[in-house]
Amino acid sequence: MTFKDLNLIPSILDALEDENYIEPTAIQAKAIPVALKGQDILASAQTGTGKTAAFAIPILQHLSENSHSKKGKRKITTLVVTPTRELAIQISDSFSTYGKYTKLKNTVVYGGVNQNPQKEALQRGVDILIATPGRLLDLMQQGFISLEDIRYFVLDEADRMLDMGFIPDVKRIIAKLPKKRQSLFFSATMPQNIVELSRQILFRPEKIAVDPVSSTADTIQQYLYYTNKETKKDLLIHILKDQEIDQVLLFSRTKHGADRIARNLKKKSISCAAIHGDKSQNQRQKALNDFKSGNVRVLVATDIAARGIDIDKLKYVINHDIPNESEVYVHRIGRCGRAGDEGISISMCEPEENGFVKAIERLINQRIEVIQDNPFPQTDKPMNASEKKEFEKEKQRRKQEFFAARKRNNSVRTGKPRRR
């Protein structure tokens, strides 16, 4: 099957041809015909399967076929709600790419930046709005956004919305939507909370499931180093001595860990940047742009910050920390090897993460190839139950000491200044 078999209008086919899109992915082949018929969709598709095009293309076609009768200022007729700023920007770019030969306009609104440019874009008029929940509600309350003309509604990455605590906001948004609309609901996983939410949004939906979260793409080669916690930084430098690894997305479990890894790499003159929730929007966007343009070799990211990052032809993903949720591993390595291209994932496992690796292998139903030529092999043993208990107690004690010291320092700073 090709895109020409999906009964798409010439303006969209020309845009897809410019991008060398010939054959639709599984989610695109299943969802586009259903969406073109005007049916609601409940789709389960993991990141990297091409789901943005699966909802953007039919919406663009619907709007193009009906836009000739519009007069006056453009009204928002399509709303796409997504959890992160990076993903919102990515979706906006996709609408612009697929719709470049149409006369449709889209804009994106998200928090963490000055709202004035976003307000000005809205006041000029747009057809398609891509938004994160918080900023959308804020602009609605200020009277800059009305949802009364919405005909097409997309909720993207619903499970991540749940993880990030956005579901109450989403419900408030849904309550403001017209009853008569087409709704498209996409989620990588379908926990019960998400299924119940879908029932509030959708009317007799067509259920579509492709590439379940337990699967990894055949195009991705997976490798594993067993090492110690203290030697991970040395092992990472050893791996990056291979100059063929010219662009790599590296995952850290924590924000502080991401910053620490970036500092260590910079000390070794390896160009890198960190991207996580504590960074400003401008910092995050600059890091992403530098990575895409090749000015940064290693982009260190936390899982939430990396959601929605879509790098064309990205070949390498490194797991500096093994995730304790097996599904997260699948999402991470799905950043490479996209659209049929080859990908390589490399994971570094310390003793306390050995059990996580076994759980991942059970989920994906395959063994990850262990690299034997390893200058920093795992020699430490995992802690037993009593050692873990003592470790947690010590960690808690240090945490309490840290906060007590910070409280003392704050009280000193806020006290009366000394007379000179």
**Which helix (H) or strand (E) covers residue 402, if one does?**
helix 385-413
pLDDT band for position 224 (50/70/90)? Answer: very high
Residues 174 and 240 placed together within one structural domain of the fold: no
**Does residue 346 or residue 190 have the better pLDDT?**
346
**Which helix (H) or strand (E) covers residue 400, if one does?**
helix 385-413
b/e per residue, 218-250, with b = 16+ CB within 10 A? eebbbebbbbbeebbbebbeebbeeeebebbbb
Final residue of a structural domain among 350, 370, 390: 370
Residues 131 and 238 placed together within one structural domain of the fold: no
For the chain, give the percent of residues with pLDDT over 70.
Answer: 88
CATH number at residue 180: 3.40.50.300
Mean pLDDT of 182-188: 92
Residues 23 and 130 placed together within one structural domain of the fold: yes
Mean pLDDT of 197-202: 91
Is 39 within a domain?
yes
Is 400 within a domain?
no
DSSP state of 417: P
Residues 148 and 230 placed together within one structural domain of the fold: no
Q: Which residues contact 338 (CB under 8 A, 6 or more apart)?
A: 48, 217, 310, 314
pLDDT band for position 1 (50/70/90)? Answer: confident
Q: Is the pLDDT of residue 254 over 80?
A: yes
Domain total in the chain? 2
Residue 369 pairs in a beta bridge with 223
**Dihedrals phi, psi of 410, to nearest 5 degrees:** -65, -40
Final residue of a structural domain among 153, 187, 209: 209
Residues 183 and 230 placed together within one structural domain of the fold: no
Express each pLDDT in 76-109 by its tens digit: 999 999 998 888 999 999 999 999 999 999 999 9
CA 108/CA 118 separation, integer angstroms: 7
Q: Is the pLDDT of residue 419 over 50?
A: no
pLDDT band for position 418 (50/70/90)? Answer: very low
CA 39/CA 48 separation, integer angstroms: 24
Largest CA distance in the chain: 83
Domain assignment of residue 193, given as a range: 3-209
Is 401 within a domain?
no
Among 91-100, 110-119, 123-132, 300-309, the least confident range: 300-309
- Position 411 scores a pLDDT of 62
* Structure tokens given for 262: 């970036």
**Does residue 53 or residue 86 have the better pLDDT?**
53
Final residue of a structural domain among 209, 241, 276: 209
**Does residue 142 or residue 331 have the better pLDDT?**
142
Q: Is the pLDDT of residue 140 over 70?
A: yes
Is 101 within a domain?
yes
CA 199/CA 90 separation, integer angstroms: 27
Is 12 within a domain?
yes
Residues 203 and 282 placed together within one structural domain of the fold: no
- Position 217 scores a pLDDT of 75
Among 34-38, 215-219, 230-234, 265-269, the least confident range: 215-219
CA 285/CA 283 separation, integer angstroms: 6
Q: Is the pLDDT of residue 221 over 50?
A: yes
Among the listed residues 67, 82, 119, 329, the one whose alpha carbon sits nearest the alpha carbon of residue 220: 329
Residues 29 and 83 placed together within one structural domain of the fold: yes
CA 301/CA 298 separation, integer angstroms: 10
Residues 320 and 357 placed together within one structural domain of the fold: yes
Express each pLDDT in 363-413 by its tens digit: 889 999 999 999 999 998 876 666 566 666 766 777 677 777 766 776 655
Among the listed residues 226, 100, 87, the one whose alpha carbon sits nearest the alpha carbon of residue 159: 87
Locus of tokens 């292998």? 361
Residues 239 and 282 placed together within one structural domain of the fold: yes
Q: Is the pLDDT of residue 420 over 50?
A: no
**Does residue 180 or residue 403 have the better pLDDT?**
180
Is 93 within a domain?
yes
Of the CA atoms within 13 Å of residue 318, those in its CB half-sphere come to 24
